[in-house]
Copies of this chain bind each other. A is one copy, B any other.
Amino acid sequence: MSNGGNVRENDTLKPMDSKQLREYGHRMLDYLKDLLPDAAPEQPENFQHVLDDITKKIIPGLTHWQSPNFFGYYPGNSSIAGFLGEMICSGLNVIGLSWITSPASTELEVIVLDWLAKLLNLPDQFLSTGHGGGIIQGTASEAILVVLLAARDKILERIGRNSMDKLVVYSSDQVHSSLKKACQIAGIYNDNFRIIKTDASSGYGIDPLNLDQAVHVDIEAGLIPFFLCATVGTTSSASVDPLVKIGKITEENAMWFHVDAAYAGSACICPEYRHYLDGLEYVDSFCMNPHKWLLINFDCSTLWVKERSALVNSFGTNPDYLKNKMSQQKNVVDFNDWQIPLGRRFRSLKLWMVLRLYGADKLRGYIRNHINLAKQFEQLVRSDSRFEIVCPTLFSLVCFRFLPYNNDNDDDGYELNSQLLDAINSTGQLFFTHTIISDKYILRFAVGAVLTEERHIREAWKVIQNQATIISNNHILSKINLK
């Protein structure tokens, strides 16, 4: 968003302080409220009037995820093929309640999830031809919730519903916040959510020894380890848990093993990155988000399981008004029994259209280009000694930070990097975000917008360098003034 408001000339180079932000924030919060009436119109409005409002009132208040200068969070790709798929989906507007309410919608989903499984070279057990299969969920949060619930119900069926207090969930401290949310929802006791600390020595992946130890301590305490969530491409730093080694632990202890590859899963369609998924033979469920980095417009999170019956056991309801011979005879897949909502959109269309209109080969090239751009950005960062690269760049995310000034590192550069990020984003020339790892404030530069080219990387780096210089100079000036 543009830096509106009556900022005084000599303030323009200063990052906003929190008083200013609060002031602007309130103004922004009231932004649309002031611009729009407080009730729906009684009579139809002119279409051009509505379109004008979108251009003048809505668009200026958006964060532009499709900008080539968007490097925040992880990408949220839009594409022509994905867009056309959404248009057809919305135009047909068929509501998937069960197979019979739109057979082709379910069948295409089954087929296309098999296609994608093959592109990712997933073990055959994840294909629909056996006991497994794939489903499109809205988000990785929903995927993680449904498998956690399926795992919970499976173990409780064996040991009794009164044993909830014994169930223990494991993950690294780098796991996505959705696991915490899923645990809250599933009723996992707070004390039974084991967060295995990671550090730079294992590249912020889980150390299997630490996991093994935690599992054994819990077993000795009479608890029941039942679920592990590993990540391939964590949210903070795109780190990767070692699937084979931790898979052996989950196998030994009969735990449900889920792998969340929401972001980095897309890269694994390239053979040279597929090794990050080695170990999937130990895994019960696997999720990645084509809506992030595989050109599918949001939302489209793909989840595969090896035993679809575990989902149906947890989510099947089979009410009278949906009964039909096809479902009763178990001839067909009813995806409503694999998920939380009953109704579903025809989302497989956009996935199918992207795969067909672009083809696997071009999609691999698309991924490789972003990773290549990220490597170039990493080189730029390395070439400036004021900065450091914090984590290895495995995919298209570069984690770096501005090094704290000598003799001035009470907070190890936390405030400095926070100010720098604010200053850069306030220029309006690019947008990126941060994270905290091992108490360090880290700048995350995530390449992956469809329109991003080499020049955007170079220009972004120039802005970052310039703002860093300004902050350094201001810092030196303030020290002089203090003296």
Contact = CB atoms under 8 A, between A and B. Distances in A.
Interface of A: 1, 18, 21-22, 25-26, 28-29, 31-33, 36, 38-45, 47, 50, 54, 57-66, 72-73, 76-78, 82-83, 86-88, 90-95, 97, 100-105, 107-108, 111-112, 114-116, 118-119, 138-139, 141-142, 145, 149, 153, 161-162, 164-165, 176-178, 180-181, 184-187, 189, 235-236, 291, 297-299, 314-315, 317-322, 325-326, 329, 331-332, 340-343, 345, 349, 353, 355-362, 433-436, 444
A320 B145 CA distance: 21
24 contacts: A25-B325, A26-B331, A29-B332, A32-B104, A32-B111, A40-B118, A42-B360, A45-B357, A57-B104, A61-B104, A76-B93, A76-B343, A93-B297, A138-B341, A138-B343, A139-B343, A141-B342, A161-B165, A177-B342, A181-B317, A184-B314, A235-B321, A298-B343, A321-B436
Nearest to A435: B321
* Count of chain copies: 2
Contacts of A139: 341-343
B103 A63 contact: yes
Contacts of A60: 104
A4 to B, nearest CB: 12
Contact of A185 (B44, B50, B340): B340
A345 B315 contact: no
A103 B62 CA distance: 6
A357 B50 contact: yes
Contact of A340 (B29, B47, B142, B318): B142
A141 B341 contact: yes
A345 B298 contact: yes
